[in-house]
Amino acid sequence: MTSILPVAGVGTPEHRAFVTLPHVARAGDPLWAPRSTEVADWAFEADHTLMRAFVAVDGGAPVARAAAFTAGEGLGTVGLFECLPGRGEVGRAVLEECVAHLRSRGVRRIEAPRSDPLTVGLQVGGFDLPQTLLTTHDPPFHLDVMLAAGFRVVRRMVAPLMTRAAAPRLRFPPPPPGITIRPVDPTRLEAEVAALGHLHGAVFAGAPGLVDHDRRRLVRRLLPYLDPDMVVVAEHAGTAVGSLLCFPDAWQAGHVDRARILSIGVLPGWERRGLGLAMGSRLMNVLLDKGYQSVEGVWVREENAAPQALARAFGATPGRRFALLERSP
């Protein structure tokens, strides 16, 4: 018999079932990154009053799971979805438990999948490509289960993929006059983080979820993976006007030769002056010198032309595809 159980806390049998499920569901999938289970650990570390996790258990073994998050301002999200193949009906029931919980919390809109500000989106394409740092990785049937649970796709994203083999052998122009392109300075991390946080706030104004508290946690989470050479800052008169955040793919098993770009942006008013090209050229040279074989770009909305056009200058092709879904409570 299948029962759907709330996870009361870390260390309970339900929590063990919740965190074990990906290892069962993804066993034998070489594209899955076992280290991605840190996303669930991270969620359980957060304010537990904002999260409610459910796991479906059959004969003592987990078969499906999901968690509901109350994100504030009437928004609820559902993430950490996992389901065994062939058990879509149980997966759907677990998603509906999450929706019922969010309804009881009075949310007006539900987004999925989203378990934290970085781990967003359901993979809907590029299934032959590996999961990379802080991304989701889903088998194709997950979309069917989410649609059956009443969610609909509201946004489609694509992650450009750049490889060593396709890297162009052209020399990029120097940065525009007055602009310095430099790596982040690890000896002044606090000031650098503050400047980049400020820049991000201006570039991605209105991006959901990135409140100060989340940002501080994100920084703490990313710092262990930082290679300062791979975080590029564009500066004008001592002020950061652009940034390109790239990290080694710390989720890759064994020798790390993949990287992932977490974000790229220039301040409003600074677009189309060659800053993106200059920051990208710096990064590409660093990655090629350090022996990286590929870098996955941050996923961008399919209709967001600028970053995709910029990535094409570096030989990018469309890589993995993701979707954001919504439903009303």
Ligand X SMILES: CC(C)(COP(=O)(O)OP(=O)(O)OC[C@H]1O[C@@H](n2cnc3c(N)ncnc32)[C@H](O)[C@@H]1OP(=O)(O)O)[C@@H](O)C(=O)NCCC(=O)NCCS
Question: Whose Cβ is closer to ligand X: residue 80's or residue 157's?
Answer: 157
Tell me the two tokens of residue 66.
């999901």
CB nearer to ligand X: pick between 7 and 275: 275
Residue closer to ligand X, measured from CB, 147 or 210: 210
Nearer to ligand X, 4 or 277 (CB): 277
Q: In the block, which residue shows the tokens 């969010």? A: 102
Cβ proximity to ligand X: between 169 and 272 the closer is 272
Strand 109-112 to 75-83 pairing:
parallel
Query: Smallest gap, in angstroms, from Cβ of residue 193 to ligand X?
Result: 17
| Smallest separation (angstroms) from ligand X to the CB of 261 | 8
**Shortest approach of ligand X to residue 259 CB, angstroms?**
15
Nearer to ligand X, 188 or 301 (CB): 301
When CB distances to ligand X are compared, the closest residue is 276
Q: How far is the CB of 279 from ligand X (least distance, A)?
A: 8
The residue (of 80 and 266) whose beta carbon lies closer to ligand X is: 266
Give the interface with ligand X as residue ranges (CB under 6 A).
203, 263-266, 271-277, 298, 300, 304-307, 309-310, 313
Tokens of 271: 């677009």
The nearest distance, CB 321 to ligand X, in angstroms, is: 15
Compute the distance between CA of residue 80 and CA of residue 33 in angstroms, rounded to an integer.
14
**61-100 burial, b if ≥16 CB within 10 A, otherwise e?**
ebbbbbbbbbbeeebbbbbbbbbbeebbebbbbbbbbbbe
Q: Let me know: does 113 contact 284? Beta carbons within 8 Å.
A: no
- Provide the minimum distance between the beta carbon of 276 and ligand X in the complex, in angstroms, as a whole number: 3
Question: Quick one: 250 or 298, whose CB is closer to ligand X?
Answer: 298
Residue 264 Cβ vs ligand X, minimum distance, rounded to whole Å: 5
Shortest Å distance, C-beta 116 to ligand X? 16
